[in-house]
Structure 1
Amino acid sequence: MAPNGLKHLSNALATPDQLSNSSSSIDGVPSDLETSIRCAGAQLTQAAGILLHLSQDIIARAVVIFTRFWLGADGGSLRIYSVKDVSAAALYLTAKLSFQPTSPRSVLNVYTLLLSRDASPLWFVRPGGSPEAPPSPETYILSEGGYQSARLVLLRTETVILRTLAFDTHVALPHAIALTYLRTLGVTKPAVAQRVIQYLNASLLSPQLLYVTHQPNALAVAAIYLSAREEGVKLVDCEWWEVFDVDREELGFLVVGMKSTEGFMRAEASQWNDKSIPMVVDEVEAEIERRRMLEEGE
């Protein structure tokens, strides 16, 4: 528990029960499918934030809020809520609470493009990659009627997220903490700082859900440890991570977790290389049914 004056630098972490008993798993969504969909939703949130020209801290907070929504028996279920809707609402909500709010129309226009099977540049939406020829505008432009319907879903999903999270939208990020730690350690090599930020951003997609299981200071320490080692920068000759309130066991777990994210993403791309990852409830149901039929040999 962080001291009262440092609460803004810490987060409420997921409990073991929340991690092992999600609403989706209770509703019969296979764990590997849940992981794939949740990771794709995080990538969708990142891509949308970039197209909306939002800052990385807003995007990262949105990904964390998106991830928290699916945790535990009281969280959202992939058989009830479409991951695309939760992603859009999490990004809209986070931007609205920041210095960089964006309009529902802007958010929905971007998501229409990213979810278009003809125009999307995202590998898990359009497995063939970016289209070679310009797609028809009708495939990625939201009509006025479509906008009005989608806006209602966006605002309703925003309310659901707030209620599910008990209106706790606080997210402390490790990025600024990591840069402060680097200065404290006397590390001035720009390549180390750049690699630290890369590790922290990539960890938002971690299958171990590192951002909801570990405090920002621990994430910062692990990213520094990896980055300094890979850049050949020698740090102080002591267990310096303990100064930043991280023990060796936690550091080891985080180092392994951060290093494994790249391999996990490659495995996901290989597993889903010829088909789209489900983004809506009906697609989730169809994938579950497809797997059932394969198991039963139908």
Structure 2
Amino acid sequence: MSELTEVTAVRPGPGRRFLQSDLFYSFRRSPLTIASAVVSLILVLAALFAPLIAPQNPFDPASISIIDSFYPPAWSSEGQAGFLLGTDDQGRDVLSTILYGMRISLAVGFASVILAMVIGVTLGLIAGYVGGVTDAIIMRIADVQLTFPAILTALLIDGVARAIAGPHAYDQIVFFVLVLAIGLSFWVQYARTVRGSVLVEANKEYVLAARLIGLSPFTIMFRHVLPNVLGPVLVIATINLALAIITEATLSFLGVGVPPTQPSLGTLIRIGNDYLFSGEWWITIFPGITLAILALAVNLLGDWLRDALNPKLR
């Protein structure tokens, strides 16, 4: 009598599966991508833990002295040891303002990308799956918005909100206005990309089987079709994060962003620009370098993710 030996395969956990995936293999084979990820992680962590590592709280008037204004960086002959990157016109430590300013820039960037993703993905799913008049209306609205630059759309929304709320109430809701303005400027890319993917997925067997067993369109779209179209969405979201941060900096530089009392990187650049030609170059140069490094690192990650998720390049 023969004995049957049953071999049970142990399924690896999510972490191990990721380490064995093509995505991680592509990541560790690219030194530039690793460097971009490290730089992005350092900047994000520095912004998150700004209250712990910043030498000064630039939002606290009690910790600021106007006597300390316009100190150059610490390595200059006139610099002070307590102000590594110098001080601005209000006596605020530039390093501290950069750390706190990145918190605002990153918060606006992440929130606006999430808003644009939710709006764009939802409308793209509806347009691609329902089709007909609904598809035509959504896509024509998207085509009309594409004729306006994103910064112009954001300026228009910001101006309308400023006129409705008034100058005093506007300062209290400026963060949400920026998120809404930038989010409504970037939803079109998600909608068009998702719509095209849904048109391909809608004729596949699993969608036809789901219809046959009587699942609702909402369930089919969000539980079955959506997971299969998330790849391009993640790529767009990564690239749009850098664009959202730059758009917020542009709006703040133009004076329609966060107030100077709670500056983002764009506001810091605008404040320093007024003193650039009088010799106080550090007030604008260091925030500008930080913004450029942050946007470049995120863009490089987006480029890598786009190539890594492209099956034609594997």
Q: By the TM > 0.5 criterion, same fold?
A: no
Q: TM-score, normalised by structure 2?
A: 0.23
Larger Rg: 2
What TM-score do the two structures reach when normalised by structure 1?
0.24
Write 1 or 2 for the structure with the bigger share of helix: 2
